[in-house]
Amino acid sequence: MVKLGLNIDHVATIRQARGGVEPDPAAAAYIAESAGADSITVHLREDRRHIQDRDVEILSGTLKTRMNLEMAATEEMKRIALDIMPHSVCLVPEKRQEITTEGGLDVVSQKGFLKDYIKPFIEKGVIVSLFIDPDIEQVKASGYTGAQFIEIHTGSYAEAFDTMEEGEEFSKLRNAAGLAMGIGLQINAGHGLNYHNVSNMLTIPGFYEFNIGHSIISRAVFVGIERAVRDMKHVLG
Ligand code: PXP
């Protein structure tokens, strides 16, 4: 069964809207884990717009499952991550003005840099995942870096869902996943996945985990985090 990673950034987004202490991302993670979430993702952005350093510290001591720390490949983030020692890091491109992570990492143009960047993580036992578009060249370059995982960007598929372009976007995911498995990479997927479009994803073999944030937190506004997580677990089978 494909595992469910819950991204709790948006819990922190609501808290930061007032700059106070509620809602508490650590409490959200606790409830989500009790409801069956298999891991918790937090994205410590350079501009600290939602998750704060203190959240990451607290979660590292309270999570019962796994922490997947999403981050840009900067020296600052490397220092923080190697101090916190999450179960895994997921390297993403980061632009200050973007609303959310817009595209995958360009591994092809910086594969030498990334190979060196991730070395200390792998040596210290932190799993490394590269967030990439479903592109054959990006998959091959990811294999070269030594990362154990890729997370395939499902944003274009999610946008194309229920349109004429859905089939084409879905084929890209299938091909990228197939190649990744062939060269020994483990595969996650995420971005834009929701209760409707995730079912198709289950027909592609090999995925280890789907990382989902916005749709689950949106549903949680109405039904609570526990129910929203249980509902997604139910869809995943
Ligand atoms: N995976 C990565 C690498 C992301 O950047 C995000 C968004 O923060 C997600 C998964 C979750 O995307 P969504 O919030 O659209 O479910």
Judged by DSSP in three states, 40 sits in strand
pLDDT bin (cut points 50, 70, 90) of residue 24 is very high
Q: Is 87 a catalytic residue?
A: no
Torsion of CA 26, 6, 116, 60, to 10 degrees: 20
What whole-number distance in Å separates Cα of residue 173 and Cα of residue 201?
A: 9
Q: Classify 193 as helix, strand or coil.
A: coil
Question: 3-236 sits in which CATH class?
Answer: alpha beta
| Mutate-to-test residue for ligand 1 from 3, 70, 232, highest number of ligand atoms within 8 A of CB | 70
The residue nearest atom 5 of ligand 1, judged by CA position, is: 101
**Contact present, 56 and 43 (Cβ < 8 Å):** no
- Give the pLDDT mean for 33-51: 97
Q: Please, is 229 exposed, middle or buried when counting C-beta atoms within 10 Å of its C-beta (0-12, 13-18, 19+)?
A: buried
- Whether 193 has a pLDDT exceeding 90, the answer reads yes
Quote the tokens at residue 142: 């990811």
Over residues 127-169, the pLDDT tens digits come to 999 999 999 999 999 999 999 999 999 999 999 999 999 999 9
pLDDT at 42: 98
Residue 96 has pLDDT above 70, yes or no: no
Task: Tell me whether residue 70 is one of the annotated catalytic residues.
Answer: yes
**How high is the pLDDT of residue 94?**
86
pLDDT over 90 at 110, yes or no = yes
Mean per-residue pLDDT of the chain: 97
What are the structural domain ranges in the chain?
3-236
